[in-house]
Amino acid sequence: MSSTGQTSQVRDSSRRTAPPTTRPAGGRKKNFLLVRRISAFFNSLPQPVAILLVLVTILLFWEGIVRTGAVSAIILPSPFRVAEQVGIVATQLASGGFLAAELWTTVQEILIGFGLACVVGFIMGLWIGQTQFGRKAIMPLFVMLEATPKIAFAPVFIAWFGFGISSKFIMAAFMSLFPIIIGTVAGLAATSEDEIKLFKSMKASAWDVFWKLKLMRALPFIFTGLKIAVVAAVTGAVAAEFIGGGIGFGEQIRVAAARIALDRVFALILVLSLVGALLFSLVALLQRKVTFWDTDSPARRKKKRGSA
């Protein structure tokens, strides 16, 4: 009797001590709910508003750091001074002033390099994707090359092709080659067994199987490669200009940075990023036109989700 009373007492005491351990958990739950509510608010913002919010926050933070004087304005110019420089650069570009020719040089390097990479990358991709030899002998070499920091080859290209435009577009091509090869190889493997069997049952020639089936199936993958490649071409051209000098936009950045005119540097970088974004959008637009049927494309998925 007494022993049972004791045990019940023990139980009671344990029950009494229990609440203090659960109370913080309840508080955490409340906090968690608040976090969820805040997160839900941010998630509900329309995309343009959300982007603007992030940008304004970054700029405010940036301006705040400059205002406190914690960092020298020479090292980190205020956003307003950068905006001013963006204005100057934009007027120069629009009026065909001293920056326009430099930008055109760099754009030429990017386009020639990208074009070259498209041709070479597609042919290499075909070789690797369509032949046993390519798969066995060429692919491993490309994987090794892909693993090396490609930028390290810039001095090599300058030594080979000189300080003119050619060493720059070769570098741009080199940087953008790999995504195109990988895209083409992956794309050529995307055709299903069923489709091959269907074409065989209709006695299709190897030529038709390639042009009317395998290449069509490969296109979405090739375009994915092209989108990565076109941005890589911008990096390649500008990096080669840093190292090899010349008359391009990258050289302008290097000179401005050497003068510690970082506001100008930021303005020039913004222009380059706009060039990259524009080229990327053009390829993406072309992809939407050419592979309109691709239900797995990100654009279509988004559209589907939106309508659902």
- Residues within the interface to another protein (CB under 8 A): 192, 194-195, 197-205, 208, 212-213, 216, 291-295
Q: Which has the closest alpha carbon to 102: 294, 285, 5, 238?
A: 238
Nearest approach, Cβ of residue 200 and another protein (Å): 6
* Angstrom distance (rounded) from CA 252 to CA 160: 23
The number of beta carbons lying within 10 Å of the beta carbon of residue 157 is 22
Considering beta carbons, is residue 88 or 196 the nearer one to another protein? Answer: 196
* Residue owning tokens 């042919």: 123
Considering beta carbons, is residue 168 or 214 the nearer one to another protein? Answer: 214
Nearest approach, Cβ of residue 59 and another protein (Å): 43
Nearest approach, Cβ of residue 254 and another protein (Å): 46
Nearest approach, Cβ of residue 203 and another protein (Å): 5
Encode 210-249: b = buried (16+ Cβ within 10 Å), e = exposed. Answer: beebbbbbbbbbbbbbbbbbbbbbbbbbbbbbbbbebbbb
Considering beta carbons, is residue 7 or 205 the nearer one to another protein? Answer: 205
Nearest approach, Cβ of residue 212 and another protein (Å): 7
Q: Is the Cβ–Cβ distance between 185 and 129 less than 8 Å?
A: yes
Considering beta carbons, is residue 28 or 200 the nearer one to another protein? Answer: 200
The number of beta carbons lying within 10 Å of the beta carbon of residue 30 is 10
Considering beta carbons, is residue 224 or 291 the nearer one to another protein? Answer: 291
